[in-house]
């Protein structure tokens, strides 16, 4: 991951070191995907959630599973299906005959890293079960609040919306994701490496055999959070973020532009990314890197623009090109 461990004399120290260590462990299993992994680490360190979009079989689940092993974090995977119920995600109260009382049996959402696989395969009622957990970092069942782990992060995957049997995520839930990342097919060299690894006996279910080590612990989090919080944001860069978000609201091709939450997400993500890159301040590079992933799931094009073949990512690139970059 070329961007990790950049050179900034007074930049954070622990954050880029741990990020690089995690990237090294993930690379023992995942071939390529350096840019995607940088966005995954940005989301994790920023305390956000991430939505993957791509066809099945691109190692999205495996990447998060390896990250959990390297970070020493608990991992759970929820397969979203049309018959999945909210209680299957959150948990439920079960009567204990021996103690003659109800006890809460936690669901798979009670993990540090939660992989919500094919989240748009399940109806909106079940999708909404994640809303409170993602926003409030706790779950309420029968009037009782149950806290989630401090590093609770949802990594959701969805199939492209044109696939059969999908339920588009509502705007309110999409807005809970810090980033939306598109994953494409590997190039020819990467795909050849993947096949060679499997031919040599690689087993994705045996991470220990792949040499994946734990390189992070819970005591690292206070330092990481402190370094990210202390990343400086000059007024010019702050205005740059604001101008990008505000430009989405006035564009003729946009029916729904970015809200203030989009600007906050871009700021939070840029601070985490700067810390990962060993910088003590945000530069326009971090903003430009994250803008597509922050905005693509928050913008809705007008019907006229869609009929003309409009594309959200193309529009975002056009907006970035039209806004002066602060020196």
Q: Give the model confidence (pLDDT) of 41-71 as tens digits.
A: 999 999 999 999 888 888 888 999 999 999 9
70 and 135, same domain (yes or no): yes
The boundaries of the domain holding residue 79 are: 1-221
Span 271-284, average pLDDT: 95
Task: Give the list of residues 6+ apart from residue 215 with CB closer than 8 angstroms, or none.
Answer: 18, 21, 22, 24, 25, 70, 71
141 and 91 housed in the same domain: yes
142 and 248 together in one domain? no
pLDDT of residue 120: 82
Which of 221, 243, 262 delimits the end of a domain? 221
Name the residue among 179, 187, 178, 177 with its Cα closest to residue 33. Answer: 187
- Same domain assignment for residues 178 and 303: no
Cα–Cα dist 59/183, whole Å: 10
Q: Is 300 a domain residue?
A: yes
Domains held by the chain: number: 2
> In terms of pTM, does the model score above 0.85?
yes
The answer to whether residue 140 is domain-embedded is: yes
Give the Cα separation of 282 and 270 in Å (integer).
6
Q: Are residues 215 and 285 in the same domain?
A: no
Q: What percent of the chain shows pLDDT beyond 90? A: 50
Same domain, residue pair 190 and 315: no
For residue 129, the model assigns a pLDDT of 79
Among the candidates 200, 221, 242, a domain finishes at 221
CATH code at position 43:
3.40.50.300
List Cα–Cα distances, 225 to 74, 219, 222, in angstroms.
19, 11, 5
Same domain membership, residue 320 and residue 191: no
Task: Give the C-alpha separation, 293 to 303, whole Å.
Answer: 22
Count CB atoms within 10 A of the CB of residue 253: 18
- Residue 168 lies inside a defined structural domain of this protein: yes
- What size, in residues, is the chain? 327
Chain segment 198-210, per-residue pLDDT in tens: 888 888 888 888 8
Same-domain status, 249 and 183: no
Phi, psi of 52 (to 5 degrees): -90, 145
Q: Examine the domain organization and report whether 197 and 284 are in the same domain.
A: no
At 191, list the tokens.
Answer: 């795909």
User: Does residue 100 surpass a pLDDT of 80?
Assistant: no
Residue 166: per-residue pLDDT? 66
CATH of the domain at 323: 1.10.8.80
Q: Are residues 245 and 207 in the same domain?
A: no
Residues 111 and 258 in one domain: no
Integer Cα distance of 107 and 120 in angstroms: 19
- Whether residue 226 is contained in a domain is answered as no
Is the residue at 215 inside a domain? yes
In terms of Cβ atoms closer than 10 Å to its own Cβ (0-12, 13-18, 19+), residue 94 is exposed
Query: Among residues 191, 221, 251, which one ends one of the domains?
Result: 221
In a domain, 55, yes or no: yes
Q: How far is 319 from 92, CA to CA, in rounded Å?
A: 47
The pLDDT assigned to 9 comes to: 38
Residues 41 and 190 in one domain: yes
């Amino acid at each position: 991951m070329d961007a990790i461990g950049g050179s900034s004399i007074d930049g954070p120290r622990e954050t880029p070191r741990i990020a690089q260590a995690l990237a090294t462990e993930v690379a023992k299993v995942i071939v390529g995907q350096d840019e995607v992994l940088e966005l995954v680490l940005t989301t994790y360190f920023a305390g956000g959630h991430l939505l993957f979009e791509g066809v099945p079989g691109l190692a999205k689940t495996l990447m998060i599973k390896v990250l959990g092993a390297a970070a020493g974090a608990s991992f759970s995977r929820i397969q979203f299906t049309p018959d999945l119920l909210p209680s299957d995600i959150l948990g439920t109260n079960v009567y204990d005959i021996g103690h003659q009382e109800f006890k809460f049996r936690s669901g798979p959402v009670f993990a540090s890293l939660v992989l919500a696989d094919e989240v748009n395969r399940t109806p909106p009622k079940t999708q909404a079960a994640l809303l409170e957990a993602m926003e409030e970092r706790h779950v309420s069942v029968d009037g009782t609040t149950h806290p989630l782990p401090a590093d609770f992060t949802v990594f959701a995957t969805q199939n492209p919306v044109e696939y059969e049997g999908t339920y588009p995520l509502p705007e309110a839930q999409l807005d809970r994701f810090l980033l939306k990342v598109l994953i494409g097919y590997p190039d020819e060299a990467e795909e050849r490496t993947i096949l060679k690894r499997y031919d040599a006996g690689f087993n994705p279910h045996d991470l220990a055999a792949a040499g994946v080590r734990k390189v992070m612990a819970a005591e690292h989090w206070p330092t990481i959070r402190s370094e990210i919080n202390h990343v400086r944001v000059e007024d010019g860069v702050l205005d740059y973020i604001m101008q990008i978000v505000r430009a989405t609201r006035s564009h003729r091709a946009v029916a729904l532009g970015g809200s203030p939450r989009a600007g906050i997400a871009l700021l939070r993500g840029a601070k985490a990314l700067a810390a990962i890159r060993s910088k003590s301040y945000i530069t326009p590079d971090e903003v430009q890197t994250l803008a597509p992933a922050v905005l693509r799931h928050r913008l809705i094009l007008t019907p006229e623009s869609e009929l003309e073949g409009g594309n959200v990512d193309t529009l975002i690139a056009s907006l970035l090109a039209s806004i002066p970059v602060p020196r």
